[in-house]
Amino acid sequence: MIAARLIFAYLRDRPLSAFLFALLTAIGVAAAAALTLFAAQSEARLTRDARHIDLVVGHKGSPLQLVLSAVFHADVPTGNLPYAEAERLQRDRRVLAAVPIAMGDSVRGVRIIGAPNALFDLYDARITRGRAPQAPFEAALGAQAARQLGLDVGATFVGAHGLGDGGGAHDAHPYRVVGVLSETGAALDRLAVTPHESVWTLHPPATAGATLQVEHHDHAHADDAAPLRDPQSETTAILVRTRSPLFALSLKQEINAATPYMAARPAEETSRFFALIGQGAAALQAFAALLIAAAALATFATLLTALRAQRGDIALLRVMGATRLTVFAVLLGQGLAIAAFGALIGLALGHGAIEIFARVSPQAQGFGLTGFAFAPEEWIILAGALVAGALAALAPALAAYRTDIARTLSEAA
Amino acid sequence: MLPFEFDAVFAIPRRWRKPHALPRSRVIYYNTPVLTLDSLEIRLGPQRRLQPPDWSLPAGATALLVGPSGSGKSTLLNVAAGLLAPAAGRVLVDGVDIAALKPAARDRFRGARIGVVFQSLRLVQALSVADNLALALALAGRKPDPARIRDTLARLGLAALARRRPRALSIGEMQRAAIARAVIARPTLILADEPTSALDDANAEAAFALLRAEAQACGASLLIATHDARLTAHGLPTLTLAGPP
């Protein structure tokens, strides 16, 4: 193809400027790609984390905070509620499982969750090594948590107060790892699970007043085989899986209207959360688009200058038998090639940045980031960069198309 | 205006519709004109018109186009090359009314049949000398022919410069490379616009000799527009244009 060879020849003729303008495009594309990857992968992670849970019940406060703390384990809890509410909820016919979880401690970034072993069923997790915890201060580690802590069955660890590093250590009560859980892809992978009694021992609860006033439709269904516990003991939140998503809606309305507690649907809060951070992401995306546009503008300027320098060449090409369309394609192709080259570099840079971020930053690990995955939106970025390159080259290409050869020749002579 | 371009191409059998695919005779008939000016009228300016006499250039012949500055020599060459449409009359190249062809067909026809050598515009700057010749072959619709490129460059004493960019060449070398570029696709007509004016005596004489030799080698007719006395002294057939009034 004659035009393709000429495009290559012209780019090779001034490699530095072609490379610089490609790099300019690359910076814009890299920013857009990294943002897109981050948004897509964190959203996928949050959706995966919340997959098993239809409803969260907790102390009144911000529903988003409740979901963030109890489902994604990314925020501090809203407060406590009586443990008994979990048992009452479990008796509701619409509920498949209601699992109370108690939070408050962590070990080197891994949260220690007080929960009955029903939590494993909720997340469809199995014990791959060892057994499920049965006594206080026995713990089962999520697959990722075990890797992160470097602990296996038989090891011991000491919990620290609080959810981040730097809390006071509970040295008097070390935990013993009795089991490691299978990989679920959900938040459970990043947790250490222990019976509620451990948490109660470390954090004696204040007496709670209120009780959950859920209207029970079928008391005959109630399963009262619950083990004997201190009825005043508290838990932090209750994770609920309903028999149908519709039940989650009705149950949520009932709890919010008729009890002093709060129910929130992770799916709803996640989408609200993304609507919220989506605005910030949109601003950053706009900035990335601006970078790409600036690159296109610079390409436009350089092609226009190049056109002036190449006028003699264009006339000569036409004299040698090139059609108008060929010289048009040669000019347009230069813009497209610069944009395409820049976009490819940019995608590589964007993916590289995400991969490095994922490896370097511990916070990023919670989002499950990787540079080795593609988001469908990246095609849009690629197309956008190419369109920008084509637009930048369009005016010079049209000028080349319309060049009056006879006049250019008389001027050149 | 007709609803579609009903041009001379339609008078040609369908399989010859691509102008550069028109049949070419291997035999040079010295009586068949390669370039014919037929009641031609060319606009030179708002008021000025050039009306060259009816004239024809036989196949294989060399002729000079002379006239004072501003007499329209270059313009006439542009019309002959199909780069400029005449105001009236016809220019026939190999019997084809070049102005009546569709634009893209005209470009391809020019690439295949006409070689042009200019005074200053010689080679595509982004390409090496050899690539310039390869491009000329490709634009003429011919197959790549490295052997012919090598031979042509060797004949013109450019073999060592094949991979050089035009800007690395001297003016004399560049003009020889331009001649190589014009003849590489074996055109039937070579148009040269002041090919020797920028050269010193020795180079001018050499360039003229090479141009004639190369034109002869590929059987092309040669029309040289010039006011260079060094060329007019050769006593070649001449088409003279009158100067501006």
Give the mutation candidate from B73, B121, B142, B184 for the A interface (greatest A CB count, under 10 A): B121
Distance from CA of B95 to the nearest CA of A (A): 19
Instruction: Decide the pairing of beta strands B189-193 and B221-225.
Output: parallel
What confidence score (pLDDT) does residue A230 get?
A: 55
For residues A126 and A147, what is the distance between their CA atoms, to the nearest angstrom? 16
By Cβ distance, the residue of B107, B125, B181 closest to A313 is B125
pLDDT tier for residue A164 given thresholds of 50, 70 and 90: low
Closest-CA residue of chain A to B133? A320
Distance from CA of A286 to the nearest CA of B (A): 37
Residues of B with CB under 8 A from a CB of A: 74-75, 78, 81, 83-84, 103-104, 107-112, 116, 118-127, 131, 135-136, 138-140, 181, 193-194
Return the structure tokens found at B141: 């619709």
Say how many C-beta atoms besides its own lie within 10 A of residue A12's C-beta: 11
Contact state of B83 with A9 under an 8 Å Cβ cutoff: no
Helices (H), A320-376: 324-360, 362-366
The 3-state DSSP class for residue B186 equals: coil
Distance from CA of B103 to the nearest CA of A (A): 8
DSSP string for A97-160:
EEEEEEEEEEETTEEEEE--THHHHHTT--EEEE----STTEEEE-HHHHHHHT--TT-EE--E
Choice among A9-13, A200-204, B10-14 with the minimum mean pLDDT = B10-14
Between A201 and B64, where is the model more confident?
B64
Distance from CA of A12 to the nearest CA of B (A): 8
Burial of A79 (0-12, 13-18, 19+ CB in 10 A): middle
For residues A52 and A45, what is the distance between their CA atoms, to the nearest angstrom? 13
Closest-CA residue of chain A to B124? A313
Give the mutation candidate from B84, B117, B139 for the A interface (greatest A CB count, under 10 A): B139
By Cβ distance, the residue of A13, A320, A325 closest to B136 is A320
Distance from CA of B13 to the nearest CA of A (A): 22
HEC sequence for B53-88 = CCEEEECCCEEEEECCCCCCHHHHHHHHCCCCCCCE
Q: For chain B, say whether A226 makes contact (Cβ under 8 Å).
A: no
- Indicate if the pLDDT at residue A219 is higher than 50: no
pTM: 0.72
Averaged confidence pLDDT in chain A: 83
What confidence score (pLDDT) does residue B12 get?
A: 42
For residues A258 and A363, what is the distance between their CA atoms, to the nearest angstrom? 38
What confidence score (pLDDT) does residue A412 get?
A: 64
What confidence score (pLDDT) does residue A68 get?
A: 85
Query: Please, are residues A329 and A3 in contact by the beta-carbon 8 Å criterion?
Result: yes
Contacts of A9 in chain B (CB under 8 A): 124, 126-127, 131
For residues A388 and A367, what is the distance between their CA atoms, to the nearest angstrom? 32
DSSP string for A280-299:
HHHHHHHHHHHHHHHHHHHH
Q: For chain B, say whether A361 makes contact (Cβ under 8 Å).
A: no
Contacts of B124 in chain A (CB under 8 A): 6, 9, 313, 316-317, 320
Say how many C-beta atoms besides its own lie within 10 A of residue B104's C-beta: 14
Contacts of B194 in chain A (CB under 8 A): 413
Q: What is the pLDDT of residues A294-353, one digit of tens each?
A: 888 888 888 888 788 788 888 899 999 999 999 999 999 998 999 999 999 999 999 999
Choice among A32-41, A167-176, B21-30 with the minimum mean pLDDT = B21-30
What confidence score (pLDDT) does residue A180 get?
A: 93
How far is residue A139 CA from its own chain's centroid?
28
Low-confidence ranges of chain B (pLDDT < 50): 1-19, 21-23, 25-30
By Cβ distance, the residue of B84, B104, B135 closest to A323 is B104
The interface predicted TM-score of the complex, written ipTM, equals 0.84
Contact state of A315 with B194 under an 8 Å Cβ cutoff: no
- Indicate if the pLDDT at residue A282 is higher than 70: yes
For residues B82 and B100, what is the distance between their CA atoms, to the nearest angstrom? 9
What confidence score (pLDDT) does residue B10 get?
A: 40
Contact state of B194 with A413 under an 8 Å Cβ cutoff: yes
Between A78 and A229, where is the model more confident?
A78
For residues A59 and A77, what is the distance between their CA atoms, to the nearest angstrom? 8
Contact state of B125 with A312 under an 8 Å Cβ cutoff: yes
Q: For chain B, say whether A325 makes contact (Cβ under 8 Å).
A: yes
Query: Please, are residues B29 and B119 in contact by the beta-carbon 8 Å criterion?
Result: no
Give the mutation candidate from B69, B135, B194, B226 for the A interface (greatest A CB count, under 10 A): B135
Return the structure tokens found at A249: 């809606």
Return the structure tokens found at A334: 């230069």
Q: For chain B, say whether A2 makes contact (Cβ under 8 Å).
A: yes
Residue for token digits 């590589």?
A348
The 3-state DSSP class for residue B203 equals: helix
Contact state of B110 with A321 under an 8 Å Cβ cutoff: yes
Contact state of A318 with B127 under an 8 Å Cβ cutoff: no
Q: What percent of chain A has pLDDT over 90?
A: 27
Contacts of B181 in chain A (CB under 8 A): 320
What confidence score (pLDDT) does residue A322 get?
A: 92
Distance from CA of A312 to the nearest CA of B (A): 7
- Indicate if the pLDDT at residue A369 is higher than 50: yes
What confidence score (pLDDT) does residue A310 get?
A: 80
For residues A66 and A63, what is the distance between their CA atoms, to the nearest angstrom? 5
Distance from CA of A319 to the nearest CA of B (A): 7
Which neighbouring-strand residues pair with A194?
Answer: A114
Contact state of B107 with A406 under an 8 Å Cβ cutoff: no
pLDDT tier for residue A165 given thresholds of 50, 70 and 90: low
- Indicate if the pLDDT at residue A140 is higher than 90: yes
Which neighbouring-strand residues pair with A176?
Answer: A138, A156
Contacts of A318 in chain B (CB under 8 A): 83, 107
